[in-house]
Amino acid sequence: MSVNIHEFEYWKFVMARNKEEHDEFIDKVEEHSLWRQDNKLKYGEHMLMLSTCDNGKGDDCRIVVIGKNI
């Protein structure tokens, strides 16, 4: 995804306390996604987030790749 750190504080998400919190995070990720996948991350599945600066869009922008353990 491509995101401004002031619009979506994705890095603060460590572990969902419940399904609702997880689904809210995944919905927000999808809002900012550059590509969509059919197999949406489900509550309880492990994920990995990799983040780097997106200087082409400004100092406050990041490119984030989210993957799930398969």
Conformational region of residue 58, where left means phi above 0, alpha means psi within -120 to 50, and beta covers everything else: left
What pLDDT does residue 29 have? 92
pLDDT tens figures, 1-54: 999 999 999 999 988 999 999 999 999 999 999 887 777 889 999 999 999 998
For tokens 């306390």, what's the residue?
17
Predicted TM-score (pTM) above 0.85: no
**β-sheet bridge partners, residue 2:** 63
Conformational region of residue 48, where left means phi above 0, alpha means psi within -120 to 50, and beta covers everything else: beta
Predicted confidence band of residue 64 (pLDDT cuts 50, 70, 90) = very high
Dist. CA 70–CA 62, nearest whole Å: 25
